[in-house]
Chains A and B, each alone.
Chain A
């Protein structure tokens, strides 16, 4: 018993460190695009009715300037605290349905508001514009934030 209690007390700092490390890793996982894992399959597979349409890209650009550029930058490359939208995650890993789900629901714990106040049509126009941007270079500031 003595041996066990000694062992336990001796390992306490190490366990605490491990717990902190595990917590940090889980927090990082949540911060690092974990929203993608929350998208229901039905939303993930939704089809964009405006896919590739130039008018929708133009309209989406105007919506982006009005509502998104203040945080994500005029060029969508992110700002000091907010992630870029021209990352591989947004451009390649996320489907258009995923992006629609994120815009509709937001990621409020991370500061991303819900844009459900925009009509569905405008959310799809925004998705069309964002997807038209493509990947731009290496990750920018804030890439790992969300």
Chain B
């Protein structure tokens, strides 16, 4: 009974707090929207799946996204994964920066993305490039860990906001710094809040707090074989809820579109936004 009361109290307190984050419900695709300057967003994105002939896995990413300027967002990622009948391991880190060259809204808004990553045995599937597919997910963790990938990743992010809809497209180029060819990939997504106008009264489950859409992504081969042969592709509906107390919860079931893809992926995420992080830190709040 005490536990239930505590839970109810927690929900009521949370509902009384401000909701700030207004994130797009995307897991792979980046929109052109930057983190607000001074805000820190802590996010956990997870993907669960089972490749044919392989074991169930859970890939996780912990992300720290900071708005350096209104036109510059920086993000640091820690990756890990757990595979059934195998092991749970830390798989590496990434650091990316996004820059918005045009300082006002246009019909199509470009953002330049540059990332360095140092990972091995990664199963977070935060992007699909080249010939990524089922075979990569069948390798035992012990063997996969030996292959440390130090990669540079570039993205051109294009985004449009019109009539409540967001349309985002990403073109991805990834280069293993140890002499492998450039690999390419794509991602696109579209979403919209379920209601465009805000309610005049505070509410937790009103429709404008939910955003729904569709996301699709996949590989485009590499400089040695620029084709769709042996590439994986996924598509799925996606939804998020801007919860009270600066939390956002996201979910997306995604479906592999060919035999080279995992048949089903389940993605879920939670994020928490801290307004004016450094100011709070200085004030000791």
Contact = CB atoms under 8 A, between A and B. Distances in A.
Question: How many interface residues does chain B have, given as a range?
Answer: 35 or more
Interface string B90-117: 0000000000100111000000000000
B166 A71 contact: no
A59 to B, nearest CB: 4
A121 B208 CA distance: 11
A94 interface: no
A106 B104 contact: yes
A117 B166 contact: yes
Interface in B68-83: 69-71
B275 interface: yes
A64 B179 CA distance: 51
For B34, B37, B161, the residue with the greatest tally of chain A CB atoms inside 10 Å of its CB is B161
A89 to B, nearest CB: 20
B109 to A, nearest CB: 8
B164 A113 contact: no
B237 to A, nearest CB: 20
Contacts, number: 86
Contacts of B193: 119
B225 interface: no
A108 B22 contact: no
Given A114-B104, A119-B163, A119-B193, 8 more contacts: A59-B199, A105-B104, A106-B70, A106-B103, A108-B100, A108-B104, A111-B69, A117-B166
B36 interface: yes
B161 A56 contact: no
Contacts of A65: 18
Contacts of B196: 119-122
* A56, A58, A117: residue with the most chain B Cβ atoms closer than 10 Å: A117
A111 B70 contact: yes
A51 to B, nearest CB: 15
A66 to B, nearest CB: 5
Interface residues of A, number: 30
6 contacts: A62-B200, A63-B198, A108-B100, A112-B70, A113-B36, A122-B197
Give chain A's interface secondary structure class.
helix
Interface of B: 18-20, 22, 24, 31, 33-34, 36-39, 67, 69-71, 100, 103-105, 161, 163-164, 166, 193, 196-202, 208, 275-276
Nearest to A53: B200
A42 interface: no
A119 B105 contact: no
A20 interface: no
A55 interface: yes
A116 B105 contact: yes
B103 A109 contact: yes
Interface string A103-138: 011101101111011111110010000000000000
B105 A105 contact: yes
B198 A122 contact: yes
A47 B39 CA distance: 32
B70 A114 contact: yes
A67 interface: yes
Interface string A79-114: 000000000000000000000000011101101111
